[in-house]
Structures are given as C-alpha cells and as structure tokens.
Chains A and B, each alone.
Chain A
C-alpha cells in the first residue's frame, strides 16, 4: 500500500521518501523544516509588500525590493516542492522551479551590485537627524537676520517719517513767526516812516534783513532734506544743454545785473535727475557770479569731458577763489568763508550740491588758483538704478 503510493506517477522514478527509507522520523523532520522555512519565506515578501504599500513616500529602489521578494517567494516554493517530492517524484517540476529561482536570484544579485555605492551614499537616520538639526539652526539664524533687517528697515522708515515731519514743521511752524516779524517790521516802515528817525528805520531794516536771511535758511534746509527723498524714478537721459538753459533762465536777473559772460562747451546727453541737476548748476553758477572781485565782470566757463565710466563737468570762474585749506570745508553745511555783509548766502548751497552729486553715485570737489575757482562734478555715465536710500535724521545730524 505504502509502496504503491510512493511509486505512483508512472514515471518510473522513485519519490524522495524512498531515500529516507520511509523512516517517519526522518520524513517528518524534513517536512517540518521545509514547511517552516517555506512559510517564513512567504511571510517575508508579504510583509515587504505591505510595508511598500503603506509607506507614504515611494520607496527608493522599490524595483530591487520587488525582485528580492520574488526571489524569496521562489525559494519558499522550492521548499514546498521539496515536501511534495518526498511522496511524489516531481523532479522535473522541481528542476524547472530551481532554474527559475536561479534566474531570479542571479538577476537580483546583478541588480543589487550597482546599488551598493548608492546605498552607501544614503544617509543613515542619525546623519539625517544631524543634517536636519543643522538646517533648523540655519533657518533660525536666517529668520533672526530677517527679523533684524525688518527692524532696521522699520527704524529707517521711522527716521524718514520723522525727517518729513521735521521738514513739514520747519516749513510751517518756523515760517509763521517769521511772517509776523518781517510783516510787521515792513508795515511799520511803510505806514510810519515819517514818524521814525534814522536809527529806528535802520533797526527795522536789520529786523527785516534778519527775517529774510532766516527765510532763505529754512528754504535751503528744506531743499537739502528733499534731495534723495525721490527714488531713481526721476533719472532720465536728456541733453545737458537743455538743463543748463533752464538753469540760466532762473538766474537771468543775477546774470543781467552782473553782466556775467558764460561760455559753454559742447554738452552731451547725460543720465541724471535733471531737476536736481538744475539746482546743482544754479548753486554753482550763482556762486560764481556772487563771489566776484568788486567791479570785475564774472567770466564763467562750463565744460564736460568723459573720463571712463564718469562724466567730469567743470565750472570755472574768475572770482575771488577759495583758500587751499578751505577747498573741502566749503561743502560742509552752514560753512561760510565770508560775512553776510560781504557776500549773501546761507552756507547750505554747496552742501546741497554735494548731496545731489552723491545721490547720483558721483562726487564733487573744488580747486582754486590765481585765475579763480573750479568746481569739478563727477557723475557716473550710468546712474545706479537701485532704490537709493532716503536721507535719515541721522544723516541730517551728521551734516
């Protein structure tokens, strides 16, 4: 009975159990070992598949894992066939199954070889945690820097607002008492001239002159504070000749009075805020006319040359000149080299010129010799287009 079972199949081959001489202990040992191995080999890929499916991100090298799972399933299958072969000589099937396993395992082995360096390059969880920590610190420090910058920007904006407020107060509150002083001193002179003696009229004249000087000071201070408030939107490429014509129109009275002779070289188109340039040229030409030896007719020469990336504009006069040790000082605010009775002025004009030159990313300096004074204005051919910083309250204090 048993023998007939073991010979069943009609292939003429003997089942594997015959090798064990049908000893039950040997048979069951092999069956149990193969069964446990097979079950384990089936469970492992099942768990791997479950893991791949439940993962939120796709698994790197997922195809290699799948190949590996197939290889294990096939190994499990070979153990199952081993059990069957104890009773049934399915050696062809077993052989084919082994061949398939061999192919899959070879494929897996070949596939894994190039993965090794990549797997080595993958960070361990510890390394990842460390990198993560470094990133977190980096983010924190950048956030801190951003916060610092925001705070500085707030401070700057506040300073700009304060300056605007200051300019507003200057223009309104300081001018109101001035109107009272000059208005009533003029009214007194106008209405009661015949009742006042020479001294009284002289004193009233001083009051009036003081008030006018004060008014000019406020006006110039306001101009100074406004330079640079505008961003680079006002930068345009325009003919300098037109800008000079506009400037000379504004100076017509002074030019006519002094009989000034103004010679101008060939002027190109230049990039600048031409509104500010008019102010700058006005101040320089007005100075050239004003600071003149008595009885002398002002001669002014305006030339421009290109020096690399800069234009160099020169305004030369035949005036009284500037002492060599004062050539820098004249650009400081409120700096005056002469008393108001000799030459009128607020001492702000050249400070405005310097501010305008620097606003364009340029500079201004003066030279002087026996023939007179020369102002040299350097302006970049291409004015930097980034938003230039507005002047702050601190700048004003530093002036």
Chain B
C-alpha cells in the first residue's frame, strides 16, 4: 500500500493555499481506495497519508520510520477497528500526548454502537462520523469534510520545519 498519495488534480500549494495533509488510518484497501476517489472528486488540494494499522498510524503522526520524510498531518481520519493497536488506542495515545493532541482526529467508523461513540468523545475525538455504505453518501461526507474541516475551520499552525519542503 502506498504511504502518500498527492491528489493528481491538485498539486501542492501554489500561492496562498497549500495542500492539506490528511492521515487516513484504515486497514481495508478497498475503503482506502474509495476515500482516495471521493476526496479526489471534491477537487480539494490535499495530500493523503495512509496507515494500515495502529502502529503505522502512530509512526505517521510522529513522523518516524517509513514516515520520517512525510509531512505533518493536519487532520487524522481514524477507523476504530484496526489490526494490532486499534483505533481507540491510537486516539487515546494521540490525545494524551501534548505534542500531538492538537491535531484534530475525526473518527470514521462503521460502528454506531453507543459505547464506541461515547468512548471516542471521552478520549477527546474531535468528531465522530459514521462511515457511509452508499457511494453518494460517501461523496457528501468528503464534501462536508472539505467544506468544514479544510475550509471553514482554522487548523493549528504547522511547524516551521514543514514550510520549507518542496
């Protein structure tokens, strides 16, 4: 699985707007591919980092190992049910680390179990989204993500080190 996927339609940052870096934590290749497709169709300049399990997710957000050269994620899209360290643990780790916790984490799960929803908010998830089954709903979700989280919301400033990268 590729680790980074810059949207072909939107080359990174020219002028004022820069490409948002989204870390997608998702173990299903098919779901990753769907997310790539729907994000691409939103026409939003973005760079997608992909982590297939909890360990990779933590390395990606800390920019360690295979993610050492990757950019700092602006936003994390987190599936809860993952092999190994699962999404709940990833969320708790991110939100209890002062260096990481300001990065918004959007839980994106098929589960609508009340326990998952409350536990996610208790662990300071920034929002809880139900992963749609229908493609049309998936498109609407991606557009809403673009309009709210990447256009309306003012995200925390990126570290300076990042700005100089080509």
Contacts and interface: CB of A to CB of B under 8 A. Distances in A.
Contacts of A186: 134-136
Interface string A239-267: 00000000000000000000000000000
B28 interface: yes
Interface in A160-188: 168, 171-172, 175-176, 178-180, 182-184, 186-187
Interface string B77-89: 0000100000000
B153 interface: no
Nearest to A174: B110
A172 B81 contact: yes
* Interface hub of B37, B133, B136 (most chain A Cβ within 10 A): B133
B138 A183 contact: yes
Contacts of A211: 133
Interface in A171-229: 171-172, 175-176, 178-180, 182-184, 186-187, 190, 211-212, 215
Nearest to B28: A176
B30 A171 contact: no
Given A168-B111, A184-B30, A187-B37, A175 B135 contact: no
Contact of A182 (B28, B31, B113, B135): B135
Contact of B133 (A168, A182, A184, A187): A182
Contact of B112 (A171, A178, A187): A171
Residues of B in contact with A, size category: 10 to 19
Given A183-B135, A215-B133, A176 B111 contact: no
B131 interface: yes
A168 B131 contact: no
B111 A179 contact: no
A180 B28 contact: yes
Contacts of B28: 176, 180
B34 A182 contact: no
A175 B113 contact: no
Contacts of A175: 110, 133
B5 to A, nearest CB: 17
A175 B30 CA distance: 13
Contacts of B30: 179-180, 183-184
A183 B113 contact: no
A168 B113 contact: yes
Contact of A179 (B81, B112, B133, B136): B133
Contacts of A182: 133-135
Nearest to B29: A180
Interface of A: 168, 171-172, 175-176, 178-180, 182-184, 186-187, 190, 211-212, 215
Closest 7 interchain pairs by CB? A186-B135, A180-B30, A172-B110, A179-B133, A183-B34, A183-B135, A175-B110
30 contacts: A168-B111, A168-B113, A171-B111, A171-B112, A171-B113, A172-B81, A172-B109, A175-B110, A175-B133, A179-B30, A179-B31, A179-B34, A179-B131, A179-B132, A180-B28, A180-B30, A180-B31, A180-B34, A182-B134, A183-B30, A183-B133, A183-B138, A186-B134, A186-B135, A187-B34, A187-B37, A187-B135, A190-B135, A212-B134, A215-B134
Given A172-B81, A215-B133, 9 more contacts: A172-B111, A176-B28, A179-B110, A180-B28, A180-B34, A184-B34, A186-B134, A186-B136, A187-B135
